[in-house]
Amino acid sequence: MTNTPPQLITRPHDAAGLHHHRDALLAVYRKVYADKLDNPFFTVDRFWERLERYGTNDGFSLITGHLEDELVGYTLGYTLARGARWWQGFRGDVNPGVLEEDGTRTFAINELMVLPAHRRQGYAHALHDALLADRPEQRATLLVRPDNIPARTAYLKWGWYILGKLQPFNDAPVYEALMLQLKDATAD
């Protein structure tokens, strides 16, 4: 007999929805990043400042995932602006044109999290697919720590590939920059 996990209900939101769901989003963040909240970069206030800033970008989208009344995870991102600083600190062997942003070509995912008690049920995958469904951009990008085995394993399984390394600031960790093709590059 197999146990089928309850189906996640996903809901899309814009920046107004982000603000509306602030407390619930931060409650999930506190549980997911419980062991990092003492680190100045990971405090709840700093996290909320980042979310508010993401919400001001064109193309911002938030997907929340629910099991009945419980928020169990979410993901969000936005379209990279023309000349976005996203690629500063990139190290890798790619054609420079790959790192040029024209304001329409790339969707950046900034967060993806699922409560510890609800992991390995395919919920992150469902959130990820809901976020990327019907995006107008050609491609998506995100940064992942190489030692984040659950996330890295998931992304590589879902079709993402490693473009190179990226250290956004001198004192920031070195991430892997991943990319996912959303459309055939010749389709536009």
Ligand X SMILES: CC(C)(COP(=O)(O)OP(=O)(O)OC[C@H]1O[C@@H](n2cnc3c(N)ncnc32)[C@H](O)[C@@H]1OP(=O)(O)O)[C@@H](O)C(=O)NCCC(=O)NCCS
Q: Which is nearer to ligand X, 16 or 157 (CB)?
A: 157
CA–CA distance, 137 with 176 (Å, rounded to integer): 21
Q: How far is the CB of 157 from ligand X (least distance, A)?
A: 5
Q: Which is nearer to ligand X, 104 or 154 (CB)?
A: 154
CA angle 134, 138, 144 (to 5 degrees): 95
Which residue stretches of 33-148 are H helix?
44-55, 123-132
CA dihedral 10, 145, 43, 76 (to 10 degrees): -20
Q: How far is the CB of 23 from ligand X (least distance, A)?
A: 19
Q: How far is the CB of 42 from ligand X (least distance, A)?
A: 11
| Contact footprint for ligand X (CB under 6 A) | 32, 112-114, 119-125, 144, 148-151, 153-154, 157
Q: Which is nearer to ligand X, 38 or 184 (CB)?
A: 38
CA angle 156, 160, 165 (to 5 degrees): 90
Q: How far is the CB of 87 from ligand X (least distance, A)?
A: 17
Q: Which is nearer to ligand X, 121 or 141 (CB)?
A: 121
Closest CA to 37 of 45, 146, 150: 45
Length of the chain measured in residues: 188
Q: How far is the CB of 187 from ligand X (least distance, A)?
A: 27
Closest CA to 72 of 131, 12, 9: 9
Q: Which is nearer to ligand X, 83 or 146 (CB)?
A: 146
Q: How far is the CB of 177 from ligand X (least distance, A)?
A: 11
Q: Which is nearer to ligand X, 16 or 149 (CB)?
A: 149
